[in-house]
Amino acid sequence: MSLLRFFHGCPQMGEVSVFVGGDAMSVPIARGLAYGESTPHIFMHGGHTTIRVEEEGKVRVQNHVIIPENQSFTLMILCRGGVMELVAITEAAPELEEGSSGVRIASFAQGEELLEFWRWFGNEEEQLFSQITEGDVSEYAQIEPGMHRLEIRKEGGTLSILPEHRAVEGRMYTVFIIGRTHPDEEEFPVAIRVLEDMKTTIATE
């Protein structure tokens, strides 16, 4: 079995519904999934299937995909160049050192700006990732468990702040960066969403 979740990262699209399976046997996974929201992980058998995303009853994207066995991943619902697409991000992660948590970034913010990812822990700040562009997915960085303040910055200022995120020892997180990086953007500014990743799946015989 594998684990799959969906994340709506397309600011140009409204609420969507997600279906898995062929037309005659499709199963609704989510209805009314809004921009910036994600589904819980669902168990799926590996192999060939069809994934369909609809907006107001109209099919916006339909892909025939192969689900790998015994893997966990996030399927991003994105818009690039005015076209909706699905992008898979594997959640496989290295083993952590004892007493650590893991964090990485997945940037799908639209625009040409180079971004930086900072975190505050106690009274100390640290830049974890720099030169972030649209489509970047980093490796995991190890951080101390506890309460962190997360920031997305660019040259000249801060774009988005998540005041409090608790990192739990032994757990892995992806920080999704969505929105638009244009300095005058008001409708869909850069935003942070943090989701916990699954390091392993449950194998069944």
pLDDT tens readout for residues 79-102: 887 788 999 999 876 788 889 999
Q: Which of the pair, 20 or 113, is modelled with greater confidence?
A: 20
The model's pTM: 0.89
Q: What does R_g of the chain's alpha carbons equal in angstroms?
A: 17
Mean pLDDT for the stretch of residues 13-41: 91
Statement: residue 202 has pLDDT above 50: no
Mean pLDDT for the stretch of residues 111-119: 89
Return the HEC string of the chain.
CEEEEEEECCCCCCCEEEEECCHHHCEEEEEEECCCCECCCEEECCEEEEEEEEECCEEEEEEEEEECCCCEEEEEEEEECCEEEEEEEECCCCCCCCCCEEEEEEECCECCCCEEEEEEECCEEEEEEEEECCCCECCCEEECCEEEEEEEEECCEEEEEEEEEEECCCCEEEEEEECECCCCCCCCECEEEEEEECCCCCCCC
Residues 104 and 137: beta-carbon distance below 8 Å: yes
Residues 103 and 117: beta-carbon distance below 8 Å: no
Specify the residue for token string 């757990």: 171
Q: What is the mean pLDDT of the chain?
A: 88
Mean pLDDT for the stretch of residues 92-116: 87
| pLDDT for the residue 41 | 94
Statement: residue 36 has pLDDT above 90: yes
Which pLDDT band, with edges at 50, 70 and 90, does 69 fall under?
Answer: confident
| pLDDT for the residue 93 | 67
| pLDDT for the residue 203 | 39
Which pLDDT band, with edges at 50, 70 and 90, does 199 fall under?
Answer: low
197 exposed, middle or buried (CB, 10 Å; 0-12, 13-18, 19+)? buried
Residues 25 and 49: beta-carbon distance below 8 Å: no
Statement: residue 117 has pLDDT above 60: yes
Which pLDDT band, with edges at 50, 70 and 90, does 182 fall under?
Answer: confident
| pLDDT above 90 coverage of the chain, percent | 60
